[in-house]
C-alpha cells in the first residue's frame, strides 16, 4: 500500500510542475511505453482511447538445484477509455489489462491468465512525452501447469501500481 501511495503522490507532484509549464495536450499516435513493473509496450494513443501490446521477460539464474522459478515470456494487452481535463491537459483512463505467460523451458502452462482493472492518470510533459500513474485496484492471476495434476491456483492482488513513461512518435 505504501508503494501505491508513493506512486500516486509522485505523479500528482510532477503533474503540478508540468501543468504550469506545458499546456500541450497529449498528441495522438503510436508510441513506446516503459513501465516501472518491467514491461515494454507499443501504445496507440488517441483522444479518447489508449491501447497497447506489452511484453515482459523473467529470466532467472539457477544457482540452486531446488529453484522453482521458470524463465518466462509474458505478453499482453491493455485498453482504456480516456477522460480529458481541459484545465490541466491531464487524462484519466479506465480500462482492462490482460496477459498470458509462455514458458521458455520445459515448463508449459495449460492456463496462465492475468486480468485486472486498470486506472491511469496521464500527465503530459510535452506533446510527445507523458508520464502515467497506473493503479490496478484488483489483479487476478490463474496458473495451471501442464504436467502436474490438481495444481490450479488463483491469486488476487489488492492493489497494485506502477509508473510509466510514454514517448509518442
Q: Please, how many CA atoms are within 13 Å of residue 166, restricted to the half-sphere of its CB?
A: 31
**How many CB atoms within 10 Å of residue 84?**
15
Domain boundaries, the chain: 30-168
The predicted pLDDT at position 22 comes to 46
pLDDT per residue over 68-125, tens digit each? 677 889 999 999 999 987 677 889 999 999 999 888 777 777 788 999 999 999 999 9
The predicted pLDDT at position 30 comes to 96
pLDDT tops 70 at residue 33? yes
Q: Which residues contact 118 (CB under 8 A, 6 or more apart)?
A: 78, 80, 93, 94, 95, 96, 97, 134, 135, 136
The predicted pLDDT at position 39 comes to 93
- 3-state SS class at 4: helix
The predicted pLDDT at position 19 comes to 46
pLDDT tops 90 at residue 12? no
Average model confidence (pLDDT) for the chain? 83
The torsion angles phi and psi of 77, rounded to 5 degrees, stand at -150, 160
The predicted pLDDT at position 74 comes to 92
The verdict on pTM exceeding 0.85 is no
Amino acid at each position: 500500500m505504501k508503494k501505491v501511495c508513493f506512486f500516486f503522490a509522485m505523479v500528482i507532484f510532477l503533474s503540478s510542475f508540468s501543468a504550469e509549464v506545458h499546456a500541450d495536450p497529449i498528441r495522438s499516435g503510436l508510441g513506446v511505453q516503459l513501465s516501472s513493473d518491467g514491461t515494454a509496450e507499443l501504445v496507440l494513443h488517441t483522444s479518447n482511447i489508449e491501447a497497447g501490446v506489452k511484453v515482459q521477460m523473467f529470466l532467472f539464474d539457477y544457482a540452486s538445484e531446488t529453484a522453482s522459478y521458470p524463465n518466462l515470456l509474458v505478453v499482453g494487452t491493455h485498453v482504456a477509455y480516456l477522460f480529458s481535463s481541459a484545465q490541466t491537459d491531464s487524462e484519466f483512463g479506465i480500462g482492462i489489462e490482460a496477459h498470458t505467460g509462455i514458458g521458455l523451458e520445459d515448463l508449459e502452462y495449460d492456463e496462465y491468465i492475468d486480468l485486472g482493472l486498470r486506472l491511469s492518470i496521464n500527465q503530459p510533459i510535452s506533446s510527445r512525452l507523458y508520464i502515467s500513474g497506473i493503479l490496478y485496484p484488483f489483479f487476478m492471476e490463474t496458473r495451471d501447469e501442464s504436467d502436474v495434476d490438481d495444481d490450479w491456483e488463483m491469486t488476487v492482488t489488492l492493489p497494485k501500481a506502477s509508473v510509466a513513461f510514454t514517448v509518442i512518435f
